[in-house]
Amino acid sequence: MTDDQLHITPRVARVLMTEEAIYGLILVSGMIVVSAGDGSWGAFITVLVTVLVFFAAHVYAGTLGRLAATDGHSGLRASLSSAAHQSSGMVLAAIAPLLVLLLGSTRVIDDDTALWLALIVNTLILGALGWIAVARWSTHWWPRLLSALLTAAFGGVLILMKAVIHH
């Protein structure tokens, strides 16, 4: 499975293939697990606010880091823009699970189903990102599969936590 097969634009693919996107998906899964007792609406709000706060913190830290690394020569605007672009994967990766949680919040799907489905969607996206990352440098299926399984395992562990904590 490649970016072309998924019909992802090169720009979106670049944003999703960042540590911030993978970290964002894991963060979202963790927030769903800890807020699941509040239903899909509570999880939606918790995830949305948490992702926005972590995004802002990443942008702030990235801006300061770029300014410090260049002794301020990079300029505030360029540093801020670069940091926001680098961190945008965190927000982009959160869209799919937020949409699933919104479906539960608006009663389009069952509340509990939305919580589980959001975790499953995250895990599948993590697996796909792991596969695609390795597919960029290897044509062999086994390293791709191993990467997909390892990346998806982060989501899998959080699914197990939800099962243990909330059942």
Q: How many separate domains does the chain show?
A: 1
In this structure, what token pair is assigned to residue 74? 């990079």
In this structure, what token pair is assigned to residue 87? 């961190």
Question: Residue 130 CB: number of other CB atoms within 10 A?
Answer: 22
Give the separation between CA 37 and CA 70, rounded to whole angstroms. Answer: 46
How confident is the model over 136-159, as pLDDT tens digits?
889 999 999 999 999 999 888 988
Residue 46 CB contacts under 8 Å (≥ 6 apart), including other chains: 31, 34, 35, 38
Give the separation between CA 22 and CA 28, rounded to whole angstroms. Answer: 10
State CA 102 to chain mean position distance. 16
Residues spanned by the domain of 76: 3-165
Give the separation between CA 79 and CA 66, rounded to whole angstroms. Answer: 6
Q: Per-block average pLDDT, block size 10, for the chain (167 residues)?
A: 55 75 92 91 96 96 94 92 93 95 96 95 93 89 93 89 77
Alpha carbon of 145 to those of 71, 125, 139, 140, 161: distances in Å? 43, 14, 11, 9, 24
What pLDDT was estimated at residue 161?
86
In this structure, what token pair is assigned to residue 82? 């670069």
Full-model pTM: 0.84
